[in-house]
Structure 1
Amino acid sequence: MLAPTKTARQQGVPLYETIYVVLREHIEAGRLPNGLVVGQAGVARAFQASRVPAAAALQRLRDEGLLSDHDGRGYLVGQGDPLRMELEEAGLDLGAVLDDRQQRNRHEWIYPEVEHAVASCLAHGRFLLNESALAEHYKVSRTVAHEVLTRLERTGIVVQESNQRWYAGPLTPDGIRHHFEMRWLLEPEALRQAFPRLRREDLLSRRQHLVAGLEAVVAPVKIERLEHDLHYRTLAHCENPLLLATIRRSQLPLLATHWTFEHFQDPGEISHLVADHLAVFDQLIDGRLDTAAATLEHHLRRSVDHNIELWRRLGGLPDHLRQDYLVAAS
């Protein structure tokens, strides 16, 4: 049995990261046949997930050269004639992952995906989270679904109202502005605390991701990854967990909006985003912490008006973000 690494089994790791690690290990070990066509739907079925984390994992594998594009509708493993079959039939072994899943609380497994789905809908209005539908969607008990919703309430992106129902949103222009204000006040300090623990090789790797972003059309999944590289993974080395938790509450509704704003992104604004991030990483690599913190604050301040303008152009929730447990509410 091919046992996934500790990274793949770590609690709190986003679901797309687990999918990415497991598929990468199978591909590198030659466990999947050359020519195998891998698509979002098949990966989602195999991992009992939605297409959002499946798409993120596949895009990352493609970016790293472990998969190649196939006919605009999927990806190929290695070289060879296209071969279509279910991943389990092709050799995917999820035994260790599923064993670990059974040993943990079920809500820990599904929470990252639900969190992302809910955060992505906030800019589109107010939504009711149906607890029974959530339980049915993931084939879990109502108790597990309730635990997920309670944890979401602690992050501030859902509330349980007096009718005992759970609601999320709406994210308004004032809300966007307030979240960004919290971030530009707190993230530079978190960066200062994280700096002594940052590894040069990690900074160089994240810088390379940005350079690649300057050379190609940047898909929403890649934009979100670039945002996570700086605002989440880099700041995660901050020694103050309360500071990080506060930052996370204001990041969550905003970092997920790149899927929401997929059809409204301005290429020029994306270039600015990449350039700002690149400047921060260059300054960190050079040891210029004060300049890096100031650049980070400027980047966050400058992002407010752009995000509000994108919000004003949104319509209803697009189909690829729609979940059966999220119901539009008045």
Structure 2
Amino acid sequence: MGIIKTRAGHVADDLRKRILGGEFKGGAQLRQDALAQDYGVSRIPVREALLALEAEGLVQFHPHRGAFITELSSATIRELFELRVLLEGKALAQSIPRLSAAHLEQASQLLREYDAALDAGRQVDGWSEFNAAFHTALYQAAEMPETLALISHLNTKCDRYVRMQLLYSQEIKKAEREHQQLLELARAGHSEQACQLLEQHIREACESILAVFERSLLQGAQA
């Protein structure tokens, strides 16, 4: 059983990267036999991996048809980001008065590490990990584990669209500047201004993603 779990974890990790990297389009079917052959494993760890990705919102199972990449609509993307505004704003507002020097240094260190990654030319690679870790560093003092778990789930569902946005709109530098501003407001204890900036940050990212997403749909229809 332990070997199956290890193989399932490997398959899930690699499939997640391929989905988030845009290799599979929304609505594409994931055939278990083909994946098992691709990864050199039986169908059991493949199914376990797909079930794990279903729990993350990246895969959907349809009765008698199999597993498919989750396909989001513009309305769903907007809904996901509205939920982010509500949950992340609440977490940040509760966290800022409780942030310690260690929390702030952790967030600052993450920004320095991401600066170094940008300077090395890794524009999109690792963005999601740094972004999630930075926001978590600012929210963790709120001591709201269930809320943070929901935020993490929402970010996973949005991740491939954020990557697509960053790749095609070249807005990484803008997001980086806003992260720095958010850190400074949090450091100064300016909770209201920080929450306003966070809301703007999330809503503008949503609008940019929707523009890219709808353009890709239009191009697909014209192809």
- TM normalised by structure 2 equals 0.77
Asked if 2 retains the 8 angstrom alpha-carbon contact of 1:122 and 1:168, the reply is no
Unaligned runs of 5+ in 1: 1-100, 316-330
Please say which structure displays the higher CA radius of gyration. 1
Asked if 2 retains the 8 angstrom alpha-carbon contact of 1:204 and 1:285, the reply is no
Distance 1:227 1:147 in 2: 28
Structure 2 residue aligned with 1:178: 79
* Pairs within 5 Å for 1:115-126: 115-121=16-22, 124-126=25-27
Distance 1:163 1:239 in 2: 43
Please report how far the alpha carbon of residue 291 of structure 1 lies from its aligned counterpart in structure 2 after TM superposition: 2.9
Q: Determine which structure has greater relative contact order: mean sequence separation of CA pairs < 8 Å that are 6+ residues apart, divided by chain length.
A: 2
Q: Does 1:138 align with 2:42?
A: no
Please report how far the alpha carbon of residue 235 of structure 1 lies from its aligned counterpart in structure 2 after TM superposition: 4.1
Please report how far the alpha carbon of residue 165 of structure 1 lies from its aligned counterpart in structure 2 after TM superposition: 0.5
Asked if 1 retains the 8 angstrom alpha-carbon contact of 2:4 and 2:45, the reply is no
Distance 1:158 1:151 in 2: 9
Structure 1 residue aligned with 2:186: 284
**1:156 is aligned with what amino acid?**
G
Structure 1 residue aligned with 2:123: 219
Distance 2:23 2:144 in 1: 28
| Counterpart pick for 2:213 among 304, 311, 318 | 311
- TM normalised by structure 1 equals 0.55
Q: Does 1:165 align with 2:66?
A: yes
Distance 1:179 1:165 in 2: 25
Asked if 1 retains the 8 angstrom alpha-carbon contact of 2:106 and 2:137, the reply is no
Distance 1:112 1:231 in 2: 22
Distance 2:121 2:64 in 1: 46
Asked if 1 retains the 8 angstrom alpha-carbon contact of 2:107 and 2:137, the reply is no
Structure with the larger helix share: 2
Unaligned runs of 5+ in 2: 218-223
Structure 2 residue aligned with 1:240: 144
| Counterpart pick for 2:195 among 278, 293, 300 | 293
SS at the partner of 1:276? helix
Distance 1:131 1:234 in 2: 40
Distance 1:307 1:123 in 2: 18
**2:189 is aligned with what amino acid?**
G
Q: Does 1:230 align with 2:134?
A: yes
Asked if 2 retains the 8 angstrom alpha-carbon contact of 1:124 and 1:314, the reply is no
Distance 2:23 2:154 in 1: 13
Q: Structure 1's 241 and 136: CA in aligned 2 closer, same or farther, altered over 3 A?
A: farther
| Counterpart pick for 1:271 among 173, 180, 197 | 173
Distance 2:202 2:209 in 1: 11
Distance 2:24 2:11 in 1: 22
Please report how far the alpha carbon of residue 179 of structure 1 lies from its aligned counterpart in structure 2 after TM superposition: 1.1
CA RMSD of aligned residues (A): 3.3
Asked if 1 retains the 8 angstrom alpha-carbon contact of 2:104 and 2:187, the reply is yes
Structure 2 residue aligned with 1:188: 89
Q: Structure 1's 111 and 235: CA in aligned 2 closer, same or farther, altered over 3 A?
A: farther
Distance 1:122 1:181 in 2: 27
Distance 1:278 1:250 in 2: 23
